[in-house]
Structure 1
């Protein structure tokens, strides 16, 4: 043992020199990596920091006060830690872990700030280095990411006066051809126009979409790509309000299975409450004497994308206050690439509806009487007399329904000679008593 004592100082010296050598090697590697990165981002982009220290075996680095800037955006982070660096610019630059704290991203149109970003197994598969005055593209559509976690995100869009906050969001399996997963807590959106609109969702879970392919399609064509991945979506506590409550849904679930040309969807809205807009801007609910709608909605649909058709079988609406609707219908001219214009283009090919009434019929009659400045009972008796003596079987069926709504479910069938535009359906139905209108619509009304 005594012979080992003289060797201890030598061993310590070797360790000190060795650690200094490893650190020196790591520092040189880090400096070379920073120089290579700066060369790759092109002359119009800059990368700066306050301090940079290598991590173990030159496989990572710790930066403070980082700023990255190019003509399109500026990224600032108080602290950046990288680990598990492998690969190269040709094969794909791989980062085992990347953690950024106190992050701000600024573009000409919006600003994003986050408390923390944690990325695991990130691959940057950009193969083109900067040449001349052209910077290397960021390639958000071609990234590969096993998992990303984002904490306390705030997005500000001044042009639309919109603010979006997210408590925590995680994205898993992001990459072209991958079925991704999104888990999001406490989404809140505020649109600061007049009147102010606020939208919030307590929890969102989305499984199955290929988010990277969707981003690539938006970048390349401006449209979302049609996917064949099975997908599910689950939302809890959806709320929209302004100067008054507007909408609340306790739970929304959607599942979709797609082929090349067909989508099958099953959607449920549990405990939906939809409020009237108020006396300053009356809605159809106000007109019929309701201040809100409350109920559940369940829709099964099959969409034929090649033919632009949607088949609903069935759509059910259950309202304990108003009544229950069951409907089977087929629509065509559905613009799947621009769903916002559905009311303008979509047409009803056929429809069959059954209405089990609880209070809606009496509210409608009272609303019609009020609009004509008539006593409700007088208007009801005149209406029932007219319907009961009609030559049209559908009008007589309507009279039986109005005479005793809860005893006679109302059945309406619509088989128009040619499809009817959705925007014109309400006008057409209001003239259902006119045979010249009812016949082309193929409209029949019955009570079992």
Structure 2
């Protein structure tokens, strides 16, 4: 025991000297790393901070009041913490943990801000030094991320008068060729162009797509590439509104499996509500005397990508107010990689439609009577008499349906001589009593 006490001062001295040595070593490593980073970003970019302190064993650092600037963007953060630095290798700089607090980014005329960004298992890609003083690429298309958590994201885009906030967002497995996952809470977007639009989503999950591959495609070509990863979308409480509500859905669940030759999708919307855009609108809802649609929609489809063909098998719409619709159809000219233009390009090859009515038939008759400035009862009697006396079995079947819609589901079959544009089907059906229209459509009507 007596021999230990004289040794204690020596032990303390070794610890102090060792600690100072480790700190000095870590500080030198940090300064060298900062110098390498400044050299890598090129002469037109700058990196500054108020304080920089190394973490234990030189495996990370803490920065305050950080600013990164190049000709296309400026990033500031009140605090930055790096941990788990694994050094630069062929794949790039590997960082176990990167946390940024009170972040603001100004780029492309827009401003992004976040309370906190927490990134794990991050790999920053190695890239060539900037050429001709050009800024280093941000590398969003080629970095790799295990998990990213973003808190209180806010985007202000003056050019499009758009303001967007997200309370919480998590991205998992971001990297070229990886099946990624996005989990988002409380999205709110306001577009202040006339008329103003507000879009809100309580919760959104997107599982499966290769986010990095899509970003790379947008950067390189401006277009999204065909996505072959199976994916699933789950959206809860989506709302679009202006001065009045436009659309609301309690839940949207959609899964898609796509290969080079086929495309399969199963989508379900629960408690979908669509409102007319106003009393002066010429929408079908207003034309038929409804102020909104409420119901459930389920679509199952299978597509042949090489031929541009799509089969609905089936599509069902269930509306407690209007009625139930079932459609089985063959369509062609389907642009699978740009489905937003389907109404403009798609053509009906064949279709079988079943309608179980609750109120739509009477609304249609009333709308037709109003358009002819004729009393509804008088118009109905004239129409029923004309249909029952027709030589066409389809028109007589339509008359039986209109006489007692609740007792006679309406069935329509379409097999046109040549495919008909999807947008023209409604117009053609409204003229179905004209044989010159019905015959080319291959239209038959029946009431089982």
Q: Is the 8 A contact 1:276 1:282 kept in 2?
A: no
Higher mean alpha-carbon deviation, 272-281 vs 7-16, is at 272-281
Residue 186 of structure 1 pairs with residue 186 of structure 2: yes
- What's the offset of the Cα at 1:227? 2.4
Change (3 A) 1:350 1:260: same
- What's the offset of the Cα at 1:89? 5.4
How far does the alpha carbon of each residue in 1:59-91 deviate from its partner, in whole angstroms, 9 at most, with x for none? 101011111111111111111000011131533
- What's the offset of the Cα at 1:228? 2.3
How far does the alpha carbon of each residue in 1:246-272 deviate from its partner, in whole angstroms, 9 at most, with x for none? 111111101111222211100000111
Residue 445 of structure 1 pairs with residue 445 of structure 2: yes
What's the counterpart of residue 143 of structure 2?
143
- What's the offset of the Cα at 1:131? 5.1
Q: Is the 8 A contact 1:208 1:232 kept in 2?
A: yes
Distance 2:419 2:181 in 1: 40
What's the counterpart of residue 173 of structure 1?
173
Distance 2:35 2:184 in 1: 37
Distance 1:280 1:91 in 2: 60
Change (3 A) 1:193 1:130: closer
Pairwise mapping of residues 266-345 of structure 1 onto structure 2 (< 5 A)?
A: 266-345=266-345
Distance 2:190 2:386 in 1: 51
Pairwise mapping of residues 18-417 of structure 1 onto structure 2 (< 5 A)?
A: 18-88=18-88, 90-130=90-130, 133-417=133-417
- What's the offset of the Cα at 1:273? 1.2
Distance 1:346 1:170 in 2: 37
Residue 418 of structure 1 pairs with residue 418 of structure 2: yes
Distance 1:337 1:257 in 2: 13
- What's the offset of the Cα at 1:166? 0.4
Distance 1:140 1:292 in 2: 43
Distance 2:15 2:388 in 1: 105
Q: Is the 8 A contact 2:184 2:203 kept in 1?
A: yes
Q: Is the 8 A contact 1:91 1:127 kept in 2?
A: no
How far does the alpha carbon of each residue in 1:11-34 deviate from its partner, in whole angstroms, 9 at most, with x for none? 111111111111111001000000
SS in 2 for 1:31: helix
How far does the alpha carbon of each residue in 1:176-197 deviate from its partner, in whole angstroms, 9 at most, with x for none? 1111111100011111112211
SS in 2 for 1:141: coil
Distance 1:226 1:276 in 2: 34
- What's the offset of the Cα at 1:339? 2.9
Higher mean alpha-carbon deviation, 100-109 vs 422-431, is at 422-431
For these two proteins, the number of residue pairs brought into alignment is 448
Distance 1:360 1:91 in 2: 62
Change (3 A) 1:26 1:131: farther
Distance 1:439 1:139 in 2: 59
Q: Is the 8 A contact 1:317 1:324 kept in 2?
A: yes
How far does the alpha carbon of each residue in 1:107-127 deviate from its partner, in whole angstroms, 9 at most, with x for none? 133111000000000001224
SS in 1 for 2:306: coil
Distance 1:100 1:438 in 2: 66
Distance 1:141 1:368 in 2: 56
Distance 1:109 1:261 in 2: 41
Structure 2 stretches of 5 or more lacking a match? Answer: none
How far does the alpha carbon of each residue in 1:308-343 deviate from its partner, in whole angstroms, 9 at most, with x for none? 121111000001111100000111111233333322
SS in 1 for 2:3: helix
- What's the offset of the Cα at 1:133? 2.2
Distance 1:260 1:268 in 2: 25
How far does the alpha carbon of each residue in 1:29-61 deviate from its partner, in whole angstroms, 9 at most, with x for none? 000000000000111111111111100111101
Higher mean alpha-carbon deviation, 81-90 vs 294-303, is at 81-90
SS in 2 for 1:2: coil
What's the counterpart of residue 5 of structure 2?
5
Change (3 A) 1:108 1:259: closer
- What's the offset of the Cα at 1:282? 4.5
Distance 1:31 1:132 in 2: 27
Distance 2:128 2:90 in 1: 8
Distance 1:142 1:30 in 2: 25
Distance 1:132 1:58 in 2: 34
- Taking only aligned residues, the RMSD between alpha carbons, in angstroms, comes to 1.3
- What's the offset of the Cα at 1:137? 2.2
SS in 2 for 1:6: helix
Distance 2:288 2:132 in 1: 69
- What's the offset of the Cα at 1:345? 1.6
What's the counterpart of residue 429 of structure 1?
429
- What's the offset of the Cα at 1:242? 0.7
Q: Is the 8 A contact 1:223 1:337 kept in 2?
A: no
